Chain A
Amino acid sequence: MLKITHIAKTFNPGTITEKKALTDVSLTLNEGDFVTVIGGNGAGKSTMLNAVAGVFPVDRGTIEIGGIDVTRLPEYKRARYLGRVFQDPMTGTAATMNIEENMALAYRRGQPRGLRWGVGARERELYREQLKTLGLGLEDRMASKVGLLSGGQRQALTLLMATLKTPQLLLLDEHTAALDPKTAAKVLEITEKIVSSRGLTAMMVTHNMKDAINVGNRLIMMNEGQIVVDVSGEDKKKLTRHDLMGLFEKAAGKELDGDRLLLS
């Protein structure tokens, strides 16, 4: 579903702030894979996700989604294949537009936008049903501005919007990191429900080791712009925190920097 081949990215090359964010990353995801991505600060997790999303061009390598080479496509054109949820709950929705308008924008992802009315009358029923599945009562607030929702509600809505049009690949960039623990757990629960019920292919960056181990069928760990650990299937099911730290030390030749990684 996703095939990344030897991509590299250096930010601000040749300057004092030069940062080799990705040195050489190759990764192939199969259909239905739910991969968690973990790693320390600056390991390149978000950069890899943003490279797939087309936020910036990569220096070399290729990216294929569903067999189509998207390496040179701008961000807005890749959007037709991707669903995205960001770390900052403010990023994924338009605060000054209401819930149904936001959903209508997402519903037309990958389609030309013409002079038909922005929110079709028949769509409303679909949106209402979809919102009901979140169990947050948003189905009764469809005319409310999204800016009035809490961070958790906005994140859940973004998740729904990202999957309203079935994406070939769902990109979750630490989408629970800015939420309080209870809300984070709820959003993660919704995430798992949506991904498993729809059989989506997904990649979730997290710095919560517990989540990385418990969620999904595959785990990759990054360090200094490279993938250093890749565990899947039965191995992933049996994986413990202790194993993971051991694997990291063996691969990276140093102790895992737990500064920002939540070890609990």
Chain B
Amino acid sequence: MELIKLLNSLPGAVAQGLIWGLMAIGVYITFRILDMADLTVDGSIATGGAVAAMLITSGVNPWLALVISFFVGMLAGFVTGVFHSFMGIPAILAGILTQLGLYSVNLRIMAGKANVAVNANKYYLLVSLRNVRELSLQNPILVLTLITAVVILTLYWFFGTELGSSLRATGANAQMARAQGINTDTKKLLGLMLSNGLVSFSGALLTQYQGFSDVNMGRGAIVIGLAAVIIGEVFFGKVFRNFGLKLLAVSLGAIVYYLVIQVVLWLGLNANDLKLLTALVVGIFLAVPYWRSHFLSRKKTDKEAGSHA
């Protein structure tokens, strides 16, 4: 357990955290703003990876590949939105259906291969694992920080517009939104598209960063996304009240998540047990608000009962 090993792994954790932070901001849009759990993301992150891998290996500019991945991800969100809003399927199930279908789609995109390599020696990539400890403009942390800043600013602007406000109203109180003339079905659809576009976009970055795309790279993505959202709220929720800062907190939450992962790996945890650990931690954090309200309300009723006696 040499400390130098841990320190060496930290820049990589930050870069990974930034990439997954973008994915988690996508999760934030559905989970917090629209108040629905969308499991499409497990599939759409791999879709983004697959699209980027195929485009880049056939010579497309990686920036363009990112943009195209975003739009393909929006399509995935569109499918879930149609399942949910126009076919009446509960959001969770609609997401699971799309996610399952995407597995086949992603294999099709990657021409039947489960894994496609994107070699940084052969192709120009925006971000790569190999530069993560370099002090240069190629360092992925720099590029990813800039991309994250642009994404957060864009979303801050969008959710401040009339259209963005109507999305927030749909999530906050759908009945009120309809009474104010907002078509809540199309707003949910739009939110799902935006979310999955962003998730796919982060998948395209992840593929470049790690140098390959894998059909299974999205397994458990929703849980990592939720972990980032929740960690962000726990650590920064009290200070970050502004909407833009809340999005920043999600990104920081993802970085904290990956830093913690590096520490527990350094402490000797078997990497195969990571998913179990993540699931348990997220489970407990999701339970906290429930426990809190349950415990507090009981205490309150006790007090009320006491005062009546």
Contacts and interface: CB of A to CB of B under 8 A. Distances in A.
Prevailing SS type, chain B contact patch: helix
> What is the size category of the interface that chain B forms with chain A?
20 to 34
A16 interface: no
Interface stretch (A37-45, A76-84, A125-133, A175-183): A76-84
Contact of B178 (A75, A90, A110, A113): A75
B166 A113 contact: yes
Contacts of B164: 118
Given A91-B175, A94-B168, A109 B162 contact: no
Contact of A97 (B163, B168, B178): B168
Contacts of A113: 161-163, 165-166, 182
B179 interface: yes
A95 B183 CA distance: 19
A106 B168 contact: no
Contact of B173 (A75, A82, A94, A116): A94
A101 interface: yes
B160 interface: yes
Contacts of A105: 165-166, 169, 176-177, 180, 182
A206 B34 CA distance: 33
Contacts of B117: none
A111 B163 CA distance: 11
Contacts of B106: none
Nearest to B173: A94
Contacts of B184: 76
Nearest to B165: A118
Contacts of A111: 181
A53 interface: yes
B100 interface: no
B172 interface: yes
Interface centre among B164, B175, B176 (most CB of A within 10 A): B176
A173 B28 CA distance: 35
A109 B180 contact: yes
Contact of A76 (B158, B160, B182): B182
Nearest to B33: A96
A106 B180 contact: yes
Contacts of A97: 165, 168-169, 172
Interface residues of A, number: 34
Contacts of B182: 76, 79, 105, 113
A206 B49 CA distance: 58
A117 B161 contact: yes
A86 B176 CA distance: 10
Contacts of A93: 173, 176
A79 B180 contact: yes
Given A91-B175, A116-B162, A117-B161, A76 B183 contact: yes
A93 B176 CA distance: 6
A115 interface: yes
A109 B181 contact: yes
A92 interface: yes
B195 to A, nearest CB: 18
Nearest to A53: B179
A36 B172 CA distance: 31
A108 interface: yes
Contacts of A115: 158, 161-163
A53 B181 CA distance: 11
B172 A110 contact: no
Contacts of B180: 79, 105-106, 108-109, 161
B153 to A, nearest CB: 15
Interface in A116-143: 116-119
A161 B177 CA distance: 12
Contacts of A76: 177-178, 181-184
A123 B178 CA distance: 22
A114 B163 CA distance: 5
A92 B179 contact: yes
7 contacts: A79-B178, A95-B173, A101-B168, A114-B162, A115-B158, A116-B161, A118-B164
7 interchain residue pairs of minimum CB distance: A79-B181, A94-B172, A118-B165, A113-B162, A109-B181, A94-B173, A96-B172
Given A79-B181, A96-B168, A97-B172, 11 more contacts: A79-B182, A92-B176, A92-B179, A95-B172, A97-B169, A105-B165, A108-B181, A110-B181, A113-B166, A113-B182, A114-B163
